[in-house]
Amino acid sequence: MLEGLSLLGLLLLALLVVTLMGPGAATLVIALTILYAPGYTRVAFAATLATRGLDYVTAQRALAIGLANDVVEDSELAAQTAGLATRLAQGPALAYGATKMLISKQLEMSLGAALELDSMTQALLTEDPGSTVVPYCMSGGTDAKHFSRLGMTCYGFTPLVLPEGYDYYAMFHGTDERIPLSALESGVRIMDQFLTTAAP
């Protein structure tokens, strides 16, 4: 009964607004807001009350179970945050970038594949610290399609550190195809590093 009277009051108010303001888009928006806003407000308030009844993980509990790395007082938060930001800014940016990339990729990979990608990345960055690891799909035919039928995931990994400005694709599968000797030597070192550290 009270709900019906409340709705009737809102409807009369909306009609009054339309009468006073006249037809128009702004009038329509205001009238609809008068009619529907209270209902949405009640829903939001009910959700808030329900959430308040839930059990929360305290800061100390989060620290104990590994959800948090540290817990500080409110008065120390700004100083602790500034200190952490300073340490990160002065840290190894290349390692941070590689770690972020690996974490993002590992969300879509199995544990074994993630460990292999980590080993590949470490081997590449050891030889060429300024490099960027970028996975891509090659359209050429390989043996991977046959292994995939057996449930085996395959990755092509033939690393070469080429001299700056070397037009690799112009020399690829063409007349007098070749690579610099330095690129072959770097590839051997990278593969040796990868096979030494790769997960068994």
In a domain, 126, yes or no: yes
**Residue 3 — very low, low, confident or very high, per pLDDT cuts 50/70/90?**
very low
Q: Which residue has the higher pLDDT, 168 or 189?
A: 189
pLDDT, residue 195, reads 85
Note whether 111 and 167 are same-domain residues: yes
State both tokens at 87.
């340490």
In a domain, 155, yes or no: yes
In a domain, 67, yes or no: no
pLDDT, residue 4, reads 41
**pLDDT of residue 136 exceeding 60:** yes
Count how many domains the chain has. Answer: 2
Percent of the chain with pLDDT over 90: 2
In a domain, 71, yes or no: no
Distant-in-sequence, close-in-space partners of 37: CB < 8 Å, separation ≥ 6: none
Range of the domain at 177: 93-197
Output the CA torsion sign for 74, 80, 85, 86. Answer: positive
In a domain, 26, yes or no: yes
CATH number at residue 116: 1.10.150.900
Note whether 45 and 113 are same-domain residues: no
Q: What is the pLDDT of residues 41-84, one digit of tens each?
A: 766 666 666 666 667 778 888 888 888 888 888 899 889 889 88
pLDDT, residue 188, reads 92
Residue type, 173: H
**pLDDT of residue 11 exceeding 70:** no
Q: What is the pLDDT of residues 90-114, one digit of tens each?
A: 876 777 777 777 777 777 777 777 7
DSSP single-letter state for residue 163: P
- Yes or no: say if 25 and 45 are a contact pair by the CB < 8 Å rule: no
